[in-house]
Structure 1
Amino acid sequence: MKDGFIKVAAATPDIQVADCVHNTREIVKKAKEMSREGARILVFPELCITGYTCQDLFQQDTLLESAKEQLLKAAEELKEVPGLIFVGLPLEFHGKLYNTAAVLSGGEILGIVPKQYLPNYGEFYEARHFVSGGEILDYIPMGKGKVPFGSRLLFTCEEMPGLTVAAEICEDLWAPCPPSVGHAMAGANVVVNLSASDETVGKTEYRRSLVKGQSARLLCAYIYATAGNGESTQDLVFGGQNLICENGSLLAEAPLFANETIYGVLDIQKLKGERRRISTWQQEMDGSYLKISFHLPKEETLLTNCFEQNPFVPGNPEKRAERCNEILNIQAMGLKKRMEHTHCKTAVLGISGGLDSTLALLVTARAMDLLGMDRKQIVAVTMPCFGTTDRTYTNACELTRRLGAELLEVDIKKAVLQHFEDIGQDPQVHDVTFENAQARERTQVIMDIANQRGGMVIGTGDLSELALGWATYNGDHMSMYGVNGSVPKTLVRYLVRYYAETCGEEKLAQILMDVLDTPVSPELLPPEDGVISQKTEDLVGPYELHDFFLYYMLRFHFSPSKIYRMAKATFEGAYDEETILKWLKKFYWRFFSQQFKRSCLPDGPKVGSVAVSPRGDLRMPSDACVTVWMKEIEKL
């Protein structure tokens, strides 16, 4: 529960049709198993106490009484199981039969939620047995007392402010305006669905997209438990495709026909933050909803396999390839429009043999193709100086030739040494002046060449460097259009790799793969024995950590302590806690102190949900203090 995390589960028990005693025994066993795994919201399928496929047996008093008795028994046997438990059963109320979800917690039945939309088409005949409970809000006798009965029930956690749970049942989700819409607008950020959806060809993907889409639309978590093996196969087969989604992301899915229990860790704090951030999300104070409180033990939810190490990069290879192509197109289309508008004859960029300039050149080539311009109108300028190695120089030259661009070499050593003499800088003192003078000289060279050629300077710096301020002010920090400005370093690698794997040119692919294998470096200090001596990640830290910090700080506005906890769980075995904390401190210090560089960035296309443009995503004062954040980090 700490930091807004809560573990949840959806299970399909092994049932026998119309055997409430057996089914309840299985439900209780599953619930205790899920609880031992740390789940605190437990969801079972529709009508699971009786089985969904009882048909006209639902009219039998014997079955209905048995179901009610077993519900009370389940509540008693699960009184030591912490959490909120949803089970399905038929209940008679005021002379009518309802398809309901019973909500259990601490040995009590907190409420009964009836199904609103009853399918009576195709293979479904629910209206033969049940009536809709859409307009009801009443109290039903249950055991020695009465409990709330109605579709507008919200279950709120006393120990976890902000956690609000609501339920709908199967077909409710398929309706044009599902009850979950009203639930969410009334404050629910976790919706559970007790379902019995049979399997037909193509339905699996449709069901998955429906649940994912609803969780995205409502900015909520959605836990879907459905019937499986054990239901009657007289005319239908049920697959048990349990699903857990959070704001459009699929956290867990059960394989078909396995009756598998699935688990997911929800981030309630993240969902609350998203609703706060999205200005079009407006919660409605609906007085027709009844709020019912429940309790959870105060504990720290174990975080295992919850987060991707590279949150900017899709883990699925097919989706990653699709994303890479899309990003390259966004970058190229942005540059295409800018060159069209300015009537530029050439695109000029510095090419170093490093990752960022390589990506910028690939994007520029694609933009030229879109414009119908000859790639010879790209002027790739290599500017060797004190730190340039043979490896990067060769890669820069060969890459340019292979892409069909014009290669121009301008050795800047003499110009920089003259500048050192002019300002009284000792060339043997390898300080920040020694480094930045080279970066600024390179920028001056390509700016002036762009003027000569009627061209535009294409920026190469990436999002990670901008976040850390790892750019020379008015050096590589400046350009006329920055195509990489919202692409983080971890993603730059995948984009270059994707190009290498899909370009269809063996020699070009080899060059690109060698660029990927080259240590990240500005090459501003002299090499040692011909090898790069200045490695960026030794100085500012691993980019995979910084990109992880950056994503969760800007995208979800998480606190340093929460990000640190997430990073420890995510990078366990790769980095120890002291190393993660060291670079987290460095990240926050640099992010705040270097905002002045981001406040005057050149234009460039936004490609993802995280960006630092002062005209768009990040409106931050250049002199904001990091004190509050650093104090929190010091306590870790």
Structure 2
Amino acid sequence: MKIGGATVNQIPFDWDHNSANIIDAIHEGIRQQVKILCLPELCITGYGCEDLFLSDWLSERAWQELLRIREHCDNITVSVGLPIRLGGITYNGACVISNKAIKGITLKQNLARDGVHYEPRWFNNWTKNETREVDYHGERIVVGDLMYTIDGIRLGFEICEDAWRKHNRPGYRLYDRGVDLIFNPSASHYAMGKSLLREDEVVTEGSSKFHCVYVFANLLGNEAGRMIYDGDIIIGQHGKLVGVNKRLSFKPYNLMATEINFREPEKTEILISSDIKDKNEELAQALSLALFDYLRKSKANGYVLSLSGGADSSICAVMVAEMVKRAVAELGWEKTREVLKLKPHTEQWQAAVGQLLTCAYQGTRNSSTDTYVAAEELARSVGAAFHRWDIDDEVNSYTQKITHAIGRELKWDTDDITLQNIQARTRSPIIWMLANVKRAVLLTTSNRSEGDVGYATMDGDTSGSLAPIAGLSKVFILQWLRWAEQALQHDGLSAVNNLQPTAELRPLERQQTDESDLMPYPVLAEIERHAIQERKSPLQVFEAMKTTHEPEVLKRHIRKFFTLWSANQWKRERLAPSFHLDDINVDPRSWCRFPILSSGFAAELALLP
């Protein structure tokens, strides 16, 4: 029997768009003679509807869309995800439609409640082994913990988080009922390396433990702004991978199906995968797709970027270029021009980037020739529109006004932070002005390491409406740029990669660098992993790191990290929306929440030996 999964790139409660993608995927399944097809979790509404899931009307409209989709399920069985509202309570459901007839709706039993997930805010979990017949908008429907028989194949469900619960997986109970096929419709957010975990811990392990065929089908693209879905479709049978699709597609839907031999698994058709798991390439795919979707779904005309010649702004510029190159490679020029609103006859990727990305180098007397040259060379190499202006007059104007108000001159020895911040903040209004003129999205370039310790000027370098790299550590960004120069042939990164990271806000003779202001970036990243990702106390961090670092220096770095982390939560609360790209994030809306006011770990830091 031919079994398949399909991924769709959806938009929250964009009914026509979402249903069209679902129907197109079903039609493709019918064309390929797929008998049973799995579509992702909550694909009718989109996963990112947030508090709208608590409303009655959203579920009611989703049901009307389901009835429309049902009419296209001719000679095929399809599972379609949608919210179900029963007695004022919302459940997360997978509806099985077989040859235009609704067979039932399986309801999710385990809700994701950590990291980026807030499902218990919107949904109730369903009780295991419980089923119920309900009158749902005039139809008698069976809902709950169900098993279906389709052409002699016994089908059951684990919905996303259900499969990650080691001791409460529905699969164990499905196995006891003699399941042949488990579908896992998911909205599993992207993080580097996560696909391999799904292959091993969900599909391979699940198909082995439950002695069945297992199909995982994930959502695709930047659906609602922050989360990226990689469109993973994975099929396994009895502990063996049968098929893995190519993820992070720019297409509105993808489908993968294979002939499954349920009686003689060794005769099942094995699909050859072209998916790439290397983290550097994976990030290039994910971030370029996220920018592509953000641009088209926001209906903006392009991106504007303050290009400093440093690593953070440079990776943003390169990713916009990769967005164009990868869209063209997969969709072709005609479709790319249509989606990105490019001028007719544009068929050079640099020319397309020039229409979509506008950069400006905003210098002061503290800026070096090296960073200007690096910025100009990179902009030229990717084809971006490039401007240069100086902001010293504006900085002097602000400084003179404060000097007059307080009756003294500002000096570097006494007013260091003030004199640094005013330069960063002065850059903000004019780059915003350029973005407004262009009707473009202003990219802010703060990274995760800066977010940890507040090494960013609020309303300065944090100014913007989208923070594409706020989920990446500086260590990863620096090595990625070196990789991209070679692997992606971005020769314009050569000058950038030869510079030491610096804010260039102090006079040049003071030789400012990021690491002299903070600590070595690899040390910061290691402390972050222990303190934030693994949630260790200062003393526990010290114990974990003391054998590989000089103890007294390490204690200074730990004190600085925890002190700055505590003092700068208010900055993290004001970060522009950012993409979740790694298995850790410090954006309080998409991973890590922390009080704005606290003790600052005073008692805990006092325990350091």
TM-score in terms of structure 1 length: 0.47
Find the structure with the greater CA-based Rg: 1
